[in-house]
């Protein structure tokens, strides 16, 4: 359900800011940014800080790997906006063919065992959270993940469990590939907070 206040801005200041940023960027400000401007109590600073920490904070995973994890969580949650947005960011730090292979089937994609194990854990966490057990964490660790790598992957999965559901519930518009690419540059430069 698209909320008019999210689309156009909930205050005069937000309306002007959305228009100005869209005009300067040369593309429609994505709905994810519009939500960040909307009612700070709804999806404001706390969600931004959480996302920033999971996606850009210190981590043994690269930014591209975390963005690919976010795209995979979005895929499992059937969120085309987040798949497109986070794939566009991931391919700025990895081969686009590799990202596409992972999105098609991470089990057969040519990735290292650590990333494959993290994605297997995230798939269970996303698609069967009630079935997630310590044995799943043990399997990831046995496959070569460090506790820090597993914790950071789980943080990506947790924050995108929330974000993808927000995007779907608010019926985010799907930008063109060119607009996703432009927004990716902005997110890499500015971050999430």
Residue 174 or 100, more confident: 100
| Residue 124 belongs to domain spanning | 44-190
Residue 33 has pLDDT above 70, yes or no: no
User: What is the distance of C-alpha 50 from the center of its chain?
Assistant: 12
CA angle 181, 49, 176 (to 5 degrees): 15
Question: pLDDT band for position 29 (50/70/90)?
Answer: low
| Dist CA 166 CA 63 (whole Å) | 22
Residue 142 covered by a domain: yes
What residues contact 23, with CB distance under 8 A and at least 6 apart?
A: none
Q: What is the CATH classification number for the domain harbouring 51? A: 1.20.1290.10
pLDDT in tens, 132-163: 999 999 999 999 999 999 999 999 999 999 99
In angstroms, the CA 66 to CA 61 distance is 6
Whether 181 is in a domain gets the answer yes
Contacts of 87 (CB under 8 A, 6+ apart): 67, 68, 71, 99, 100, 103, 180
Residue 21 inside a domain? The answer is no
> Are the C-beta atoms of residues 66 and 86 closer than 8 Å to each other?
no
In this structure, is residue 112 part of a structural domain? Answer: yes
Domain presence at residue 23: no
Q: Is the pLDDT of residue 79 over 80?
A: yes
4 assigned to some structural domain: no
Q: Which ranges constitute the DSSP H helices of 38-176?
A: 40-43, 45-56, 63-76, 80-90, 96-105, 113-127, 134-142, 147-169
C-alpha–C-alpha distance, residues 176 and 119, integer Å: 27
Report the number of distinct structural domains present in the chain: 1
Neighbours of 72 (CB within 10 A): 26
pLDDT at 7 over 70: no
**Is residue 105 one of the residues assigned to a domain?**
yes
Taking Cα atoms as reference points, which of 1, 32, 43 lies closest to residue 171? Answer: 1
Does residue 52 sit within a domain? yes
């Amino acid at each position: 359900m698209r909320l008019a206040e999210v689309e156009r801005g909930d205050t005069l200041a937000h309306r002007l800011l959305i228009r100005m940023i869209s005009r300067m960027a040369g593309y429609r400000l994505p709905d994810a940014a519009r939500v960040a401007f909307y009612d700070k109590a709804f999806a404001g600073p706390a969600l931004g800080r959480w996302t920033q920490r999971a996606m850009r904070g210190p981590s043994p995973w690269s930014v591209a790997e975390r963005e690919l994890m976010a795209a995979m969580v979005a895929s499992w949650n059937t969120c085309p906006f987040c798949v497109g947005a986070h794939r566009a960011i991931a391919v700025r730090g990895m081969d686009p063919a590799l990202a596409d292979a992972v999105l098609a089937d991470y089990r057969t994609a040519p990735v290292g065992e650590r990333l494959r194990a993290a994605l297997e854990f995230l798939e269970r966490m996303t698609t069967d959270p009630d079935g997630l057990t310590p044995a799943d964490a043990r399997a990831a660790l046995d496959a070569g993940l460090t506790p820090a790598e597993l914790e950071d992957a789980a943080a990506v999965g947790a924050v995108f469990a929330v974000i993808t559901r927000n995007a779907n519930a608010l019926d985010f518009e799907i930008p063109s590939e060119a607009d996703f690419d432009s927004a990716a540059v902005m997110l890499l430069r500015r971050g999430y907070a």
